Amino acid sequence: MIIHIPTAEILDNALLRDRALLDDTAIEDLAASIHRDGLRQPIEVWALSQPTETHRYGLISGLRRLTATRLLHSRNRATNTTIAAFLRTPASIPDAMAQMIAENEIRENLTPWERGLTLARAVACDLFPTIDAAIAALHPTATKQKRTRLRTLALVAEEFEDCFATPELLSQNQIERLAACLRGGLTPVIHQILKENRKASLPTQWAALTPTLSEALDPESDPTPTKPGRPRRLLTLKQGLTIRRERCAGGWSLKFTGPHARKGGLMDDVMDHIERWFQPEYFLSSFNGHR
């Protein structure tokens, strides 16, 4: 059934939205289209079981259409006070979310990050007990391969939410490389690198991650039963000093961060220790000491 609802009575965040950002240019274009030709497709809502003085309906799908209509109303208070809507009766909030995701999959592709974050947040909000349960409910027709891909997106979004500058711009391939780091035990290193570059843009953050991402693909870097705790990639000391190992051209580099690392004297001390360590007399004394 189609009804016309005052836009002010619709709670647009009644559900966890699967779209992280709305493109301003696209909204302007959509508003111009609605102003010129009218709304081509009604939005979808449901009647809130506990309406407030302001809101009587929750939005299922049509966030972009609702936003564009509200934009037109803000420019001319006499027009676009209502919007055409299908009144749905979802069995539950998860069912409403499934309808929202299905509609968005058809109308406009979500980014990989948005798909994963929606699943992760649905579990965090106790709508589903596990990621797999969320996938089964919100993507009921997904193939086995797609379910695996969605699980990867959700795990990465859950681990690195609020870490990247613009995570919605991460590609599927980039997210899968981050997932490889999770599987390879590189999670603390990734977090440390992102912490060091927390104010940088996504391209800069990704460039800083590249050596570590490459290491995740190297089987020689994997821990082995004969060398527990090796390789050591990150060392954090009580004094606030952090030392991180990173692959570089021709070998490895150690990156020092923290209050003590701001003083050049620390590097002098480190180089002095390394010089003594590699002097022949050092090895001879070590050998004699263990005879």
Domain identity same for 249 and 286:
no
Question: Is the residue at 132 inside a domain?
Answer: no
Domain end call among 91, 107, 134:
91
pLDDT along the chain (291 residues), means of 10: 90 76 83 90 88 90 90 92 90 78 65 89 86 90 92 95 91 94 88 91 94 75 56 82 83 83 81 81 56 50
Residue 156 to residue 12: CA distance in whole angstroms: 26
Same domain membership, residue 237 and residue 289: no
Do 9 and 74 share a domain, yes or no? Answer: yes
- Number of domain units in the chain: 3
CA distances from 138 to 101, 104, 112, 266 (A): 7, 12, 15, 53
- Enclosing domain of residue 79: 1-91
First to last CA, the chain: 90
The domain boundary, picked from 37, 62, 91, lies at 91
Report if residue 157 sits inside a domain.
Answer: no
Q: Which two tokens stand for residue 265?
A: 């004297």
Q: Given this model, what pLDDT does residue 96 score? A: 79
DSSP string, 63-106: HHHHHHHHHHHHH-TTS--EEEEEEE--SSHHHHHHHHHHHHHH
265 and 241: one domain?
no
Q: Are 110 and 44 in contact (CB under 8 A)?
A: no
Residue 212 in tokens: 């570590």
Domain co-membership, 2 together with 86: yes
Strand duo 57-61 + 251-257: pairing: unpaired
**Are 208 and 281 contained in the same domain?**
no
CA atoms of 110 and 119, how far apart (whole Å): 13
Nearest CA-CA partner of 153 in 193, 195, 122:
122
Whether 194 and 280 map to the same domain: the answer is no
- Nearest Cα to Cα of residue 136 among 158, 119, 152: 119
112 located within any domain: no
If you count them, how many residues does the chain have? 291
Question: Within a domain: residue 48?
Answer: yes
Asked if 198 and 268 sit in the same domain, the reply is: no
How many CA atoms are closer than 13 Å to the CA of 18, on its beta-carbon side?
A: 27
**Could you give the 3-state DSSP secondary structure of residue 130?**
coil
The residue whose two tokens read 């003590």 is 260
Tell me, yes or no, whether 60 and 46 share the same domain.
yes
Cis peptide before 6 (omega within 30 of 0): no
- 281 shares its domain with 237: no
Kindly state whether residue 103 falls inside one of the protein's structural domains. no
Quick one: 204 and 267 in the same domain?
no
- Structural Rg of the chain based on CA atoms: 27
Locate 104 and state its tokens: 């968005």
Cα-based distances in Å from 124 to 24, 59, 117, 167, 183: 29, 21, 10, 19, 21
Q: Which of 91, 109, 129 is the last residue before a domain boundary?
A: 91
Return d(Cα 71, Cα 28) in angstroms, integer: 8
pLDDT at 241: 85
Report yes or no on 41 lying in a domain.
yes
